[in-house]
Structure 1
Amino acid sequence: MKPTILVSWLDMDRLDRMLDAVPASQVAARDALLEELGRATLAEPQDIPPDVVTMNSRVRFSFDDAEEEVTMTLTYPKDMAGQPDQLSILTPVGTALLGLKVGDTIRWERPDGAMFALTVRGIEYQPESDGKYHR
C-alpha cells in the first residue's frame, strides 16, 4: 500500500497543464504521474506542512534502505537546465517523491519492471515554507 500524498492545488494545476503537453514518447511517465495524482489529497499552498515534498523542493532521499542519501530538486521538465541535482517529475523517482513527507517510504516500479524502495530523509528547501507560491 502506498503512503498518503498531499499536493497543493497550485502544483496540481501546473502539473495538469504540463501533462497536456507531454510528448507521445513519454506516455508511460505521464500515465504513472496521472495515477499518482489521482490519489492525492489537495491543500491550499500555505497549508502544506514543511515536511512535504512539493514541486521545486530540494529533497534528501535514499534507495532501498541504503545509508547513502541523494539530494535533488524536484523540477518540471521545462525547467530542467542540465544540472546534475535536478530531478524531473516525469522520472519514476520524481513521480514517487511528490507529496510524500519526511520519513515516508514508497515502493515504486522502474521502467525495466524492477522495484525499488525510496525513503524521504529530509527537505532542505520547500517553496511553500518560504512563501514562494508563484514559481
Structure 2
Amino acid sequence: MLRDAAEAHDLVYILGIREKPIAESWSLIFQECSGASEEDESRGGDTYWIGVGRYGQWGCYGEVIECELTPSRQPTLPIMPPSDTTDLRLVFTDQTAMDLRLPTEVHFTLRLPDQQLQIIKRGLVRVLTSGRPSSCPRLLRV
C-alpha cells in the first residue's frame, strides 16, 4: 500500500508515490521529459522516465501502455465500511517491465488524502503525455 505522494518542480517536474513519508521507503517515480536533444532521441531518452524501488534504483524511459486510477472495489456486505483506497493500474511494455523488474501489469493500492490524490492525477497526466507522442499511453484514465 502506497501512503504518500509529492511533486517537485526543480529543473523538471517529478511525481513521487511511496510507501511512507521517509526517503528510504519503496517508491514509484515519474519524471517529465524536458527538452529532449538529438542525442536523447537517438538513445530513446526523448520521453518520460519511470523509476521504482528505494531511491528509484531501477528506471527506464517510457513506455506505459495503460494507466488507470479507480476507486478500490467496495465490499458487498452492507455492514462493512466503504473503502477509502484507490487502485493504480499500470501496464508496461515487455522491455519496460523487465527494466523495472516488475510484471507487465501491476496494481498498487493507494491510501491517500484527497489533496495528494489530486497531485497524482494531475502529475500522471503531465508526465505520461510528455515527450514523443508514440510513448503516450493508449489508455490514460485518471
- TM-score with structure 1 length normalisation? 0.26
Higher Cα radius of gyration: 2
Structure with more strand by fraction: 2
- TM-score with structure 2 length normalisation? 0.25
